[in-house]
Amino acid sequence: MAKTRPISTLVSLVVWLTGVLVSLAVGFGMIDQVLTIKWISPVITMWAGWVVVILTLLSVILAIADKL
C-alpha cells in the first residue's frame, strides 16, 4: 500500500472543506431566497435548499465517522 504524503492529505482536506462550505452557502442561499431558479416556485427552491443543507451535514457526519 502506498503512503500518502502529508501535503496530499492537506490538499484533499482543503478541497473537501471548500466543497462543504460551497454546498452550505448554496443551500442557505436557496432557503433565504437569495438564490432563485427561474420558472421554479420559491417554495420548491426553499425545500431544495433544505435538502442540500441536510444532505451536506449528513455527508460531513458520515465522512467523520468513516475516519474514526
The pLDDT of residue 1 is above 60? no
Query: Domain coordinates of the chain in residue numbers?
Result: 14-67
Label residue 5 by pLDDT band (50, 70, 90).
confident
Closest among 36, 31, 34 to 50, alpha carbons compared: 31
The pLDDT of residue 3 is above 90? no
**Residue 54: strand, helix, or coil:** helix
Would you list the DSSP string of 5-42?
PHHHHHHHHHHHHHHHHHHHHHHHHHHTTSS--TTS-H
Residue 32 CB contacts under 8 Å (≥ 6 apart), including other chains: 49
Write out pLDDT tens, residues 21-47. 999 999 999 999 999 889 999 999 999
